[in-house]
Amino acid sequence: MNKFKIGDRVVYIGDTRAIGRKGVVTGLLGDAQVNVDWDTGEASYTTPLVHNLRLIRAATVRARVLDEAKRITSTDRNTSYGEPEDNFQRIADYWNVWLQDKLREDVKLGPGDTAALMILVKMAREMNAPNEDNKVDLAGYAACWAEVDPK
């Protein structure tokens, strides 16, 4: 099992070229590989030799959840789902059709409503079966909500 967790702060202690470089673990790739986003701004780097890394600070649950939400919402999910505003509006349009007899005629859902309602979906799932994935998704939907409806 990998000795690091996503969100852990690490320092590179391997060869002299990059020795002392610090970063955050952003991916676990098996028992002996991790992906690290370096503080220097360099691209993520997969290190196959985790013994070349030393833990600086273990990720708190809070940091791990927020880091995972950031990773998920910052990667190219737009290829799969489109821009959050467009995707959320599409979902809102479907919900408007579904709820047309239940909503007042002059009230229509928008992308911000979709984010809020998806948060409620995750809350309901959390009440039934608590797990970290729900909390990560809650943070991700909140971040998207702030982007599509910055009021």
Task: Say how far apart CA 82 and CA 87 lie, in whole Å.
Answer: 6
Regarding whether 94 and 49 lie in a shared domain, the answer is no
Computed from CA positions of residues 123, 124, 128, 134, in that sequence, does the dihedral angle turn out positive or negative?
A: negative
Please answer whether residues 11 and 24 qualify as being in contact, where contact means their C-beta atoms are separated by less than 8 angstroms: no
Q: Give the pLDDT confidence score for residue 114 in this predicted structure.
A: 92
Regarding whether 68 and 32 lie in a shared domain, the answer is no
| Number of structural domains found in the chain | 2
Residues of the chain with pLDDT under 70: 1, 16, 43-50, 76
Q: Give the pLDDT confidence score for residue 72 in this predicted structure.
A: 79
Q: Give the pLDDT confidence score for residue 126 in this predicted structure.
A: 87
Range(s) of the domain holding residue 66: 62-148
What is the model's pTM?
A: 0.55
Regarding whether 67 and 21 lie in a shared domain, the answer is no
Asked whether residue 3 is domain-assigned, the answer is no
Computed from CA positions of residues 133, 35, 78, 146, in that sequence, does the dihedral angle turn out positive or negative?
A: positive
Q: Give the pLDDT confidence score for residue 118 in this predicted structure.
A: 93
Regarding whether 74 and 35 lie in a shared domain, the answer is no
Regarding whether 142 and 69 lie in a shared domain, the answer is yes
Regarding whether 117 and 49 lie in a shared domain, the answer is no
